[in-house]
């Protein structure tokens, strides 16, 4: 599980930051990529990565401001030309379906795959045997959502090497042992599956918020996440401006992370006003409240390991 930041800027594209798009790469988990927002130029950013558009199976749109959706029609069209034939699901606020279908109709674009639109409301919007995705409304003046992606817990792995070393051959017995059952072998030995199953792994959680003021909803949605991705459009001294424009400051993003007890905070949606050292100062400001903070740059990759795999 990895996050790859395809665009980390706010409002308009800049030379050093494209507008918003984030890829949640689930290649090991389900051989797929989930995209969060799709600002103008996202498909050009993808060309500079190893992401294949045909691997994108879901796109989650936080809100309908242009810097979060203007790249969507182009990416959808290119996905078809680049061998994508699997269905694509698009989640977002009411209006996302009309926006996409109008663009495709007017441009007479034909797709080699089907589109499924899910116009979201607060609550669970996706569930399968691997993941649950929930969303909630934030505070941005326009309907803007945050998405919480929760991986289900993993059972411990059967320690096959240990079994083989004891002369136990693969077969139905492995399935019994994987369930923790006690089995009597043909030679009379008794083995317990509990002795040959590794520790279970707690599923990982990633929360990606759309544009928002600081709010209790953000805190509740991000609770105990492994990673929280939060906008940071303004510095700590611009709280009044942030409120007027329905955005957050560095300190406000860090306060959400602290109160939500997340493990890591990634700042994104950075104004083009902040270059080089100024951008690093934003990171330092957030670290005053929440030390484990990083400011994202375009093409940064953030690995999300299981907690028992983290090296101190």
Catalytic residues: 67
Q: Assess contact for 257 and 265: CB atoms under 8 A.
A: yes
What phi, psi does 145 have (nearest 5°)? Answer: -115, 150
Instruction: Give the residues across from 293 on adjacent strands.
Output: 265
Q: Assess contact for 14 and 32: CB atoms under 8 A.
A: no
Annotated binding site: 63, 65, 67-68, 140, 211, 269
Three-state SS across 114-164? CEEEEECCCEEEEECCCEEEEEEECCCCCCCEEEEEEECCECCCECHHHHH
Instruction: Give the residues across from 33 on adjacent strands.
Output: 25, 56
- For residue 87, give the 3-state DSSP assignment: coil
Annotated binding site for Zn(2+): 63, 65, 67-68, 140, 211, 269
Give the Cα separation of 207 and 266 in Å (integer).
Answer: 10
Q: Assess contact for 116 and 88: CB atoms under 8 A.
A: yes
């Amino acid at each position: 599980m990895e996050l790859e930041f395809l665009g980390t800027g706010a409002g308009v594209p800049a030379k050093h930051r494209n507008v918003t798009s984030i890829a949640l790469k689930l290649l090991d988990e389900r051989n797929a990529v989930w995209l969060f927002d799709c600002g103008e130029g996202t498909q050009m950013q993808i060309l500079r990565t190893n992401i294949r558009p045909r691997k994108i199976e879901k796109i989650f749109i936080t809100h309908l401001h242009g810097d979060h959706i203007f790249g969507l029609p182009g990416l959808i069209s290119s996905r078809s030309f680049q061998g994508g034939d699997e269905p694509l699901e698009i989640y977002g606020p009411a209006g996302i379906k009309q926006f996409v279908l109008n663009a495709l109709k007017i441009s007479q674009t034909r797709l080699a795959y089907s589109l499924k639109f899910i116009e979201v409301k607060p609550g669970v919007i996706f569930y399968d045997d691997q993941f649950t995705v929930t969303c909630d409304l934030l505070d941005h003046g326009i309907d803007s959502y945050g998405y919480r992606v929760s991986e289900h817990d993993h059972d411990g792995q059967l320690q096959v090497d240990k079994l083989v070393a004891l002369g136990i051959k693969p077969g139905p017995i492995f399935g019994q042992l994987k369930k923790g059952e006690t089995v009597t072998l043909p030679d009379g030995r008794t083995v317990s599956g509990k002795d040959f199953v590794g520790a279970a792994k707690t599923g990982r959680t990633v929360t990606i918020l759309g544009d928002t003021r600081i709010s209790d909803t953000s805190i509740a949605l991000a609770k105990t996440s492994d990673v929280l991705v939060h906008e940071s459009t303004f510095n700590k001294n611009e709280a009044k401006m942030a409120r007027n424009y329905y955005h957050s400051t560095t300190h406000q993003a860090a306060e959400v992370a602290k109160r939500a007890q997340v493990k890591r905070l990634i700042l994104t949606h950075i104004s083009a006003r902040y270059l080089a050292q100024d951008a690093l100062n934003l990171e330092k400001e957030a670290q005053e409240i929440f030390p484990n903070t990083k400011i994202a740059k375009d093409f940064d990759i953030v690995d999300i390991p299981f907690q028992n795999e983290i090296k101190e």
